[in-house]
Chains A and B, each alone.
Chain A
Amino acid sequence: MTRLVEVPAQFDDRSFDQFAGSFVAATDDGERLLFDAHAAEWASPYGLVGLLAAGQAARHGADKPLLTAPTQAEVLSYWARAGFFREAAELFEIHGRVPKVKAQDESDVLLPVTPVRAAEDVHAVVSKIQQRASAILASELGLDPKATMGFAMALSEACQNIVEHAGTGGWVAVQAYSWRRKLARRVVVIAVADAGVGFRHSLEPTQSKRFGARWGDAAALEAALIQGVSRFRDPGRGQGLAGIRRYLTRWDGKIAIRSGTARIAIVPKWDDDVPLKDGLPSFPGAQVLIIIPEQGSTKP
């Protein structure tokens, strides 16, 4: 028996909970999963790395979950250029015609979907993004050229969360695009996802007593992002997310982290997201979204 997990037609952070709900419902009896993306019309970097995390979580032994590829040629082409299928081939039994296109460093794909498993991968990602992102951040987003290095720092710290806390590998993707829905301006988006242990499990040994009955996914996210705590007792830990927050405050950016059944966000004025959601459909690991908008007026 195969259980169906529907991939939303517009697959991004907003529709991710719908996807997670479908994932939860399909996984309750341990049957093989079929991720149905045939009707997908668009996927953000967050959607793509989130789908890979789902594939990672859904694998049982030698049985890979199934994935039906999008049928629209341009969607298929974008997913290929974004490097999705290169990684998906390891995780899914893919059905449908997948174009033989290599992941490309096109102007909008600053970093194709890239696996992050170890510190060496973070070095490679940071090195690559500096070569690619500098011109786009300065010319298209109007960021001070100095901000490129801060961007690389933020990316490095986001990726290190996987290496240090997930207990498994994950993926990162970076893309620039015009965000018509919210801002009518260009944004650069960093998406990072893994299907590891998640923030609650990672912080539980050091933080659960402090929170008492409140302890859960939401409290763990609050502790990590707002209070800057880490599972390590070393006083220097917890710098990464704090540093990302500082960078985003300076450039009017947004960060949202989903882990388990909760999602926390630092919401800039131009966005109407909620700061904290709890009771969401449970999804393994952690999924991080960072958005840096084109500078200038960012009225909602």
Chain B
Amino acid sequence: MIQHIDVHAVLQESVPGGGSYADLVTRPTGRVVRERIERAIAAGDVAVARMDFTGVGCIDYSCADEIVAKLLRGRPAVLVLSGISDAHREAIEPVLAGHGLAALIEGAGGALETLGAPEAAAVLLEELVARRLAARTPGGTFALTLA
């Protein structure tokens, strides 16, 4: 199954007084948010975790590492990032590339693109197709097969 994770909502629940913050900054914040996401994924039979960053303002490099890179290394599920802005991408991309990791980004139309180290991205897409979690669309892009 695909689990939808509203990252902004997790942030609100994670930070003391989090209702007033929209930014994923600092390692302690990243750690708490990641641990909540890990628990949410572990609670179900999750093949794909769709992490929706809509509503998240700034992400700094520390949080990008603490949340996205560490979740990818732990591999609790296939991670698909959605609601990603250019600024989010700027923070996450170099962190993943530095680790030789890659993540998937799902655009508004459902098309998947990769972010991070190119070699890891190619392996990730191959794996998704092999597991029938994603397939090539008539337009030539990739999309998730699960709703």
Pairing of A with B:
yes
Chain A residues in contact with chain B, CB under 8 A?
119-120, 122-123, 126-127, 130, 146, 149-150, 152-153, 156-157, 160, 163-164, 235-237, 239-240, 242-243, 246
B22 with A157: CB separation less than 8 A: no
Question: What mask results when residues 88 to 128 of chain B are scored 1 for a CB within 8 Å of chain A, else 0?
Answer: 00110011001100000000000000000000000000000
Chain A residues whose C-beta falls within 8 Å of the C-beta of B91 in the assembled complex: 153, 243
B65: Cβ under 8 A from any A Cβ = yes
Give the CA-CA distance A112 to B54 in the complex, in Å.
30
A153 with B17: CB separation less than 8 A: no
Minimum CB–CB distance from A238 to chain B (whole Å) comes to 9
Partner of B58 from A152, A160, A236 at Cβ < 8 Å: A152
* Given A152-B58, A236-B65, A236-B70; A160-B90 close (CB under 8 Å): no
Partner of A156 from B25, B85, B95 at Cβ < 8 Å: B25
* Given A123-B25, A123-B26, A127-B22; A156-B94 close (CB under 8 Å): no
Chain A residues whose C-beta falls within 8 Å of the C-beta of B25 in the assembled complex: 122-123, 126, 152-153, 156, 160
B27 with A126: CB separation less than 8 A: no
Partner of B66 from A152, A153, A236 at Cβ < 8 Å: A236
Minimum CB–CB distance from A257 to chain B (whole Å) comes to 17
B61: Cβ under 8 A from any A Cβ = yes
Chain B residues in contact with chain A, CB under 8 A?
15-17, 20-23, 25-29, 57-62, 64-66, 69-70, 85-87, 90-91, 94-95, 98-99
Give the CA-CA distance A151 to B143 in the complex, in Å.
33
> How many residue pairs bridge A and B at CB < 8 Å?
91
Give the CA-CA distance A149 to B69 in the complex, in Å.
20
Chain B residues whose C-beta falls within 8 Å of the C-beta of A152 in the assembled complex: 23, 25, 57-58, 60
B23 with A126: CB separation less than 8 A: yes
- Is chain B's interface secondary structure helix, strand, loop, or mixed overall? helix
Chain B residues whose C-beta falls within 8 Å of the C-beta of A126 in the assembled complex: 23, 25, 58, 60
Partner of A150 from B29, B90, B98 at Cβ < 8 Å: B90
Give the CA-CA distance A243 to B16 in the complex, in Å.
27
B60 with A157: CB separation less than 8 A: yes
Minimum CB–CB distance from B1 to chain A (whole Å) comes to 29
Residue of A nearest to B85 (CB): A149
What are 23 A-B contacts defined by CB distance under 8 Å? A119-B26, A122-B26, A123-B26, A126-B58, A127-B20, A127-B21, A127-B22, A146-B90, A149-B85, A149-B87, A152-B23, A152-B57, A156-B60, A156-B62, A160-B27, A236-B66, A236-B69, A236-B95, A236-B99, A237-B65, A239-B98, A240-B61, A242-B98
